[in-house]
């Protein structure tokens, strides 16, 4: 069986899985197509198809990519669609964000945390590009950004 034959046969089940994973979000089909593209470049594609494990592989890729806030799907599809207000990316619906209050909160942070968060939240950098730019380990950057986000959420 080839990949096109498999997709013709199982596409609707994969669409249903993508919708379930994303909670029927508008980007469900993009997630599915991202997983299919990833799968099509897999070296052992034919072995996976022959073993009947294609659905398992595709659903697993969709789950991982949808849950990861640092993965390529998030960077390319979700993060780009999030509105950026000042120095903070708004990820959840709710009360309008008071940018003056956020700026005041950022001023109370150590300069390292504040500046790293500003670089990340400008929307031009992800953890990897920031690591290359600043020579700070990627893990340290992600922990700092997470800590600042929690600080902002807790104090707004």
Per-residue pLDDT 10s for the chain (156 aa) are 898 999 999 999 999 999 998 888 778 888 898 889 889 888 999 999 999 999 999 999 999 888 887 777 776 666 654 444 444 444 444 455 567 787 888 888 888 888 888 888 877 777 888 888 888 888 888 888 888 888 888 887
| pTM above threshold 0.75 | no
pLDDT of residue 98: 65
Query: Under CATH, which number does the domain 83-155 receive?
Result: 1.10.10
Q: Are 59 and 15 in contact (CB under 8 A)?
A: no
**76: Cα within 13 Å, side-chain hemisphere:** 9
pLDDT of residue 97: 59
Q: Residue 152 phi/psi, 5° resolution?
A: -65, -50
> How far apart, in whole angstroms, are the C-alpha atoms of residue 151 and residue 143?
12
Where in the chain are the domains? 3-79, 83-155
Q: Are 123 and 78 in contact (CB under 8 A)?
A: no
């Amino acid at each position: 069986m080839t990949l096109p034959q498999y997709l013709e046969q199982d596409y609707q089940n994969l669409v249903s899985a993508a919708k379930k994973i994303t909670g029927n979000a508008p980007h469900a089909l993009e997630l599915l197509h991202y997983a299919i593209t990833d799968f099509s470049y897999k070296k052992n594609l034919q072995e996976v198809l022959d073993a009947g494990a294609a659905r398992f592989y595709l659903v697993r890729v969709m789950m991982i990519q949808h849950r990861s806030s640092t993965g390529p799907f998030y960077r390319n599809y979700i993060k780009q669609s999030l509105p950026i207000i000042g120095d903070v990316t708004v990820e959840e619906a709710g009360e309008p964000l008071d940018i003056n209050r956020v700026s005041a909160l950022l001023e109370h942070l150590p300069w390292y945390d504040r500046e790293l968060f500003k670089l990340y939240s400008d929307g031009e950098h992800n953890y990897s590009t920031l690591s290359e730019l600043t020579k700070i380990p990627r893990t340290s950057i992600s922990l700092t950004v997470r800590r600042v986000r929690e600080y902002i959420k807790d104090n707004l």
